A and B are shown apart, each in its own frame.
Chain A
Amino acid sequence: MIILKEENYRTIVMRPEDSVAVALEEIPAETKLSVTFPDKKTKEIIVKETILFGHKFAIIPITGGSYIMKYGEVIGKALRDIEEGEHVHVHNLEGVRGRGDKIVGN
């Protein structure tokens, strides 16, 4: 992969156990950046695709079917394996609550 940019875009990780960071400004695809955890530890991530303001990207590899964490809580389940640096949104994350459509018989 060609790294087009290496800048520190503003991002936020809410809790140490979170699997996603939120972009506080638009991040172009193929950007190498550093995210900061609440305990001030940092980690370098290569953001694979454009992340719009307010959207999330994975800061660890996430296995399909496992829970995705933000605020230290479950925000849904991975629909497939998600790579570190991938955009995490409705295309690869699904909510698990209020799912009347999942009830057998419907």
Chain B
Amino acid sequence: METNNEAEAKFLGYKRHDGKVGVRNHVLILPTITCATQAAKQITELVHGTVSFIHQHGCAQVGVDYEQTFRTYVGLGLNPNVYGVVVLGLGCETHQARSVASEIAKTGKRVETVSIQDYGGTLSAIAEGAKAATKLVQEASAQMREWCDFSELIIGTECGGSDACSGLSANPAVGVVSDMIVEKGGTAILAETTELIGAEHLLANRAKNERVAKRAYEIIKAMENRSILMGVDIRTGNPSPGNIKGGLSSLEEKSLGAANKAGKSQLNEVIDYAEAPTEKGLVWMDTPGHDIEQLTGMVAGGAQVVLFTSGRGTPTGSPIAPVIKISTNTPMFERMSENMDLDAGTIIDGKETVEDVGKRIFDEIGMVCSGKLTKAEILKQHDFGIWRIGPTF
């Protein structure tokens, strides 16, 4: 009988004009340059229903690094949780606000552009941005939630502050959810390439074809080569001191636990950082293990909701996508209930099976996608970080 309920499971989302489905209805104030982030933040304080983020990017970037940052900005604007965007620039920067805005506008999404230099200073730009945002927020508020299918969802999966329980409880439970979403025709993103070093063969063996398998080995090799080129021991950064305290002894051990988040589905595609998947099913996005950079990449790739497992506890959240945080052990869940949404420690205590917790997480996704707020959203944890792959000039 449970199976029937699951088959009929739907959630209340926002159907966008391009056929995509949002689970939130934000107006995004998108600063394309660090110089515009403070003005963007002021607009969010003036206008209800808007979100933004602070960052250090958008100028004096070149080549693939420029492109990756540009792709991230555009991807965030295109995320279906965003109704409309006010792109805010300074005026003289490399990442021009109008270039980002025109990419977003190509899809028919509502976009306005404001530049601090063009409008004669911070206060004038805030006023113009706030006026544009007000209009968009009112339009957004007129859109109602409708029943949507799980096949419309892209879920991001992530683990941070892992401990030895991560690979035993929360990550396998997220693997169950990932398989459920894939079975319903949706998309699950596995990421954190660094934290898959040592487990790549397990994923490559499940690849849809030779090309996908080859690409999986390539991105692992490129990530590992970065530590080799720098002449550093990757363990000085990963596993982290908290991971080691939690009982994880090597990156390989952490990776084997992290790979469980991908369930048992076939690996259909390997995509670049902040790139939108072109395939449904299980997709691997090439990101670093850094929690916030990974989260930003997945949300820029179109993830409407993110599952984040942690053994040590974490406050992480996104301005755009709800992040459901799942503890790997009960003592931490009780200690950090302010931040953690669900507990998978019941598996360690023998009170629930991995499948039981997987179903519980799936039900929570349905509620969160229909409007229930996560702890990170309530606490306005609007984290943002782009994976930089080149120096600033």
Contacts and interface: CB of A to CB of B under 8 A. Distances in A.
A100 B247 contact: no
Contacts of B168: 12, 14, 22
A73 interface: yes
Contacts of A102: 233
B249 interface: yes
B197 A98 contact: yes
A100 B230 contact: yes
A5 to B, nearest CB: 21
Contact of B253 (A10, A76, A100, A101): A76
Nearest to A92: B249
A88 interface: yes
Contacts of A4: none
Interface in B213-263: 223-224, 227-235, 238, 244, 246-247, 249-253, 256-257
A98 B253 contact: no
A3 interface: no
B229 A55 contact: no
B59 interface: no
Contact of A54 (B202, B231, B232, B246): B246
A103 interface: yes
Interface string B193-224: 01001110010000000000000000000011
B33 interface: no
Interface string A67-91: 0001101111000000000001110
A22 B164 contact: yes
Contact of A103 (B198, B231, B311, B350): B231
A97 B165 contact: no
Interface residues on A, range: 20 to 34
B255 to A, nearest CB: 8
B247 A98 contact: no
Nearest to A88: B249
B247 A55 contact: yes
Contact of A97 (B164, B197, B230): B197
Nearest to A106: B231
A48 interface: no
Contacts of A55: 164, 247
A-B pairs with lowest CB-CB distance, top 10? A98-B234, A95-B250, A54-B164, A54-B247, A75-B253, A106-B231, A101-B233, A55-B247, A76-B250, A100-B228
Interface of A: 10, 12, 14, 22, 24, 52-56, 70-71, 73-76, 88-90, 93-103, 106
18 contacts: A10-B350, A22-B164, A22-B247, A24-B348, A55-B164, A73-B202, A75-B198, A89-B247, A90-B250, A95-B252, A97-B234, A97-B251, A98-B233, A98-B234, A99-B233, A100-B227, A100-B230, A103-B228
Interface of B: 163-165, 167-168, 194, 197-199, 202, 223-224, 227-235, 238, 244, 246-247, 249-253, 256-257, 311, 329, 348, 350
